[in-house]
């Protein structure tokens, strides 16, 4: 199995400031034949299912605000919230879909307001 490890486990950021979450996979999720990274980011608020924010490591899902961005390749990835808003308080997960059908998720990063 591909193990996904996120850091930090939690962070507190002031409204309007940048939040950065890291995700590392135990093996590369870059498929060389198409140069795509099989990596997604999800947002989960209490009592709700995970919501897809980003796929292919950097493609925003329709309707996701552009303050959310994804970057990275191979085994190291980052989710950045450029200007944190109160409604962004949530737990964020990275997920690999390279080794389908088995998905694996990071342990989650809790984002709070400072």
Residue 27 has which token pair? 């093996």
Least Å distance, CB 91 to another protein, is: 9
Least Å distance, CB 15 to another protein, is: 27
Q: Work out whether 112 is an interface residue with another protein (CB under 8 A).
A: no
Using CB under 8 A as the binding rule, the residues of this chain from 34 to 93 that contact another protein are 34, 36, 38, 40, 42, 48-52, 55, 61, 93
Name the residues that contact another protein, by CB under 8 A. Answer: 31, 34, 36, 38, 40, 42, 48-52, 55, 61, 93, 95, 97-98, 100-108
């Amino acid at each position: 199995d591909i193990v996904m490890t996120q850091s930090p486990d939690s962070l507190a950021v002031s409204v309007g400031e940048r939040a950065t979450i890291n995700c590392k996979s135990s093996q590369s999720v870059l498929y060389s034949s198409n140069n795509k990274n099989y990596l997604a980011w999800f947002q989960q608020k209490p009592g709700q299912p995970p919501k897809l924010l980003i796929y292919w490591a950097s493609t925003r899902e329709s309707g996701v605000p552009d303050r959310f961005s994804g970057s990275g390749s191979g085994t190291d990835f980052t989710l950045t919230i450029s200007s944190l808003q109160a409604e962004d308080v949530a737990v964020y997960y990275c997920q690999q879909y390279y080794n389908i059908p088995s998905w694996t998720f990071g342990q989650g990063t809790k984002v709070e307001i400072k």
